[in-house]
Amino acid sequence: MLPSKLTQLLAFYLPQYHPIPENDEWWGKGFTEWRNVTRGRPLFRGHYQPHVPASLGYYDLRLPEVREQQAALALQAGLNGFVFFHYWFGGRRLLERPVDDMLRLGKPDFPFCLCWVNEAWSRNWDGDSRDVLMPQAYSVADDIEHIKWLCAAFKDDRYLKIDGCPLLFVYRPSDLPSMRETAERWRKEAAGRGFPGLFLCGVQSLAGDLRDPAEFGLDAAVEFEPTSTDPGPPLRSSDPLQIGYQLHRVWSYDSLVRKCLERDLPPYRFFPGLCPSWDNSVRRREGGVILKDSTPAKYQAWLRELLYREWFRPQKESIVLVNAWNEWAEGNHLEPCERWDNGYIDATRQAIDDSRGTIASIGSFQSGMKVVLTPQYEVTGKIDSRRSGPGEAHLEGWSVEAMAKGAPDMLALAERLKDGGFGLIGPVQAQRIPRADVAAIHGQASMLSGWKASYRQQAGQPAPREVVVLALRGHDRSVALVAPLIL
């Protein structure tokens, strides 16, 4: 009853952890992000700092064995590839060695693609123009030179592609003078080099990028948490011993997850994303962002929901992005740390396995199958609107399992049979729709309890006795009646 869909789970990857001449000049001899990471200190009760790496240690990305170990961990987690941050400034590349070595050596054997981080480098780490270290410049000639270099990387067999089209992310499409014209030049140049096309994605990291990617001439938009979402007012404390609340902006991880899940998916092609945690206070003395009380279990629940929701989306292409694999100075990493060890690696794998297990169990319900109601399986809810006409009916509402308080695994249309059973027709067209109003009453687990069902009688087919909406639970094949449709 469910579409056959393979969701790719990718993680953004920072290729920073090795010295380069530019950073030697700007920050001191031998500088890498590890210098920032090691100076982390807790700034309030329960503040997780410093972030200390576990099995991989304070690694150097010039070492091939480090990259091999990272790929092995990523495979263990169930990731389908890395999205390497790619730094190009008018023909000059920075932090290029890990990718260059990977392309030259052909190892590790792990899929990847690139994300052009097209922002200026500044002393305050956020692309601000007040103290620029490496400016970003754009031109027609640079567009051509850039795509020529990119096409060489696209030829690598490990490079991720969608229908043969190399997958490329642009971090700040609104920064370009005309992202649309740049995209046109890139596509033309790539076609001339034998590629069937490009699959270009805009990262929604700034307010100016939160729009339909077609406006930029791009194919899809990418959620980039926590910067894509406003989690609401920050937490406050006047306690002088809780200095972190005065120096930085602090939110609860739970509030970000809630805001992300309660937001409706946009009507354009969109790839959802999430973050395991976030804390960039080690990069700046004040004005940083801290998400408190993040845990592998909370991340796992968020990821599981995103992966499961992807199965119900009509969009053909399916990717979920994790930000990030190794942003240690942002307190944002799947890589093992001393506090959680392999917790985020294991949580990623478990979320994948859980979502696939639910899908497999629901897959045992097939269209045309006869089912009967399960007395002990109860579902509560409400019908918000009902419309009907000759041979058709439309229904909208929400449904929550009475015991678990979460949305049912799946809702399906079915015909009531003469013997009191039901013949399954197919899944409800729109389900797992965010309902903040329901979550306010029944709890966070019920956030995605909304649904919209439609039925149209096929021309020349006999009218069914009655069409209903059923709730289906996979692991024990339980069935509950949600509501009848009135034709």
- Phi, psi dihedral angles at 148 (to 5 degrees): -65, -45
What DSSP element (H or E) covers 310? helix 296-310
CB count, 10 Å around CB of 363? Answer: 14
pLDDT of residue 1: 63
Nearest Cα to 251, choosing from 194, 191, 291, 285?
Answer: 291
CB count, 10 Å around CB of 391? Answer: 13
pLDDT of residue 392: 87
Mode of pairing for the β-strands spanning 278-279 and 392-401: unpaired
pLDDT of residue 128: 52
Residue 414 CB-density burial (10 A; 0-12 exposed, 13-18 middle, 19+ buried)? buried
pLDDT of residue 2: 60
Q: Which residues contact 101 (CB under 8 A, 6 or more apart)?
A: 62, 64, 67
For residues 456 and 324, what is the distance between their CA atoms, to the nearest angstrom?
Answer: 44
Domains of the chain: residue spans and CATH: 8-359 (3.20.20.80), 370-485 (2.60.40.10)
pLDDT of residue 457: 85
Half-sphere exposure of 188 (CA within 13 A, CB side): 11
CB count, 10 Å around CB of 375? Answer: 8
pLDDT of residue 195: 98
Residue 237 CB-density burial (10 A; 0-12 exposed, 13-18 middle, 19+ buried)? middle
> Residue 310 to residues 154, 203, 257, 332: CA-CA distances in angstroms?
27, 19, 17, 24
Residue 176 identity: L
pLDDT of residue 487: 59
Angle at 182 (CA atoms; ends 179, 187), nearest 5 degrees = 120
pLDDT of residue 127: 44
Given a cut of 70, the residues of the chain with pLDDT beneath it are 1-4, 125-129, 486-487
- Phi, psi dihedral angles at 433 (to 5 degrees): -85, 135
What DSSP element (H or E) covers 148? helix 140-154
